[in-house]
Amino acid sequence: MNTTLKYVLLPIIFATCSALPSFSQGASEEVRKKVNVVIAKAYEEASAQFPCKLKASGKAKMGNWKDVENCVNPAHDLVNWKNHALELQKIRDTERYQREDMIAVIEAALSEQALPYEKVFLVKSKNVALLPLSNSLLKFLPENSLAGLPVYSTDGEHLGSFSGVYPYERIGGLEVISSYRMMNFQYTDLHGENKTPAEKFLLDLYGVPWEDAKSQSGFRLPSDRLIPSR
């Protein structure tokens, strides 16, 4: 390249690049604080439903799955998702954040502020021995929560230890062509083999000890309605 031309073009290129919109790489502490405030408000709204009474039945004193469902699902619906999504989008636009970075900050805030079960359910330990691993409970379970806890059947049989959750798509009935996602769990049986319950509607067929689970993070709001759309 001609030396004269080179020195003419460099300032132009620099000025052009400087004028282009830039987005931050990684999360600043200030953005984390702003996002945490929004997520805290979401949890505060959901917590208006808590704590919910959890009753039990059967020989194993398994918590009632209907009590769980009637607690956590309405709590989810109490959140002003649209308003909080707009707040988070505004933070991203103001701070010029990459979408992937913003998602990571939101996910981290949701996990950090997840509520322990003892703040979600009102339980008399002498009456409830097992927290039911129902589909609704698993839907809000934070990653790695309950890991290693003993899993029992509804008749009190020790089956193994809890190892995690996974989603699956369930197709509607004959007249319904849509599908919807549900959560199931896996456990390691007493022989060290990975197992999955054959039943898809878990209800109160399986549970983990309430005393072991109550202090663990149990209710984590999902991120799907908070993620920036662009």
Predicted local distance difference test score (pLDDT) of residue 126: 84
Predicted local distance difference test score (pLDDT) of residue 169: 78
Predicted local distance difference test score (pLDDT) of residue 170: 66
Question: Maximum distance among all alpha carbons in the chain?
Answer: 90
Two tokens, residue 183? 């959560």
Q: Mind listing the pLDDT tens digit of every residue in the chain (230 residues)?
A: 554 444 444 444 444 444 333 444 445 899 999 999 999 999 999 999 999 999 998 989 999 999 999 999 999 999 999 999 999 999 999 988 889 999 999 999 999 999 999 999 999 878 899 999 999 999 999 999 999 999 999 999 999 999 999 998 766 554 554 556 789 999 999 999 999 998 888 999 999 999 999 999 999 999 999 998 77
Two tokens, residue 201? 């509607």
Predicted local distance difference test score (pLDDT) of residue 13: 40
Predicted local distance difference test score (pLDDT) of residue 125: 77
Give 96: exposed, middle or buried? Use CB within 10 Å, 0-12, 13-18, 19+: exposed
Predicted local distance difference test score (pLDDT) of residue 2: 52
Predicted local distance difference test score (pLDDT) of residue 97: 85
Predicted local distance difference test score (pLDDT) of residue 123: 94
Predicted local distance difference test score (pLDDT) of residue 47: 98
The count of other CB atoms within 10 Å of the CB of residue 115 is 20
The model's pTM is: 0.83
Predicted local distance difference test score (pLDDT) of residue 160: 98
Q: Where are the domains of the chain?
A: 29-219
Question: What pairs with residue 5 in β-bridges?
Answer: none
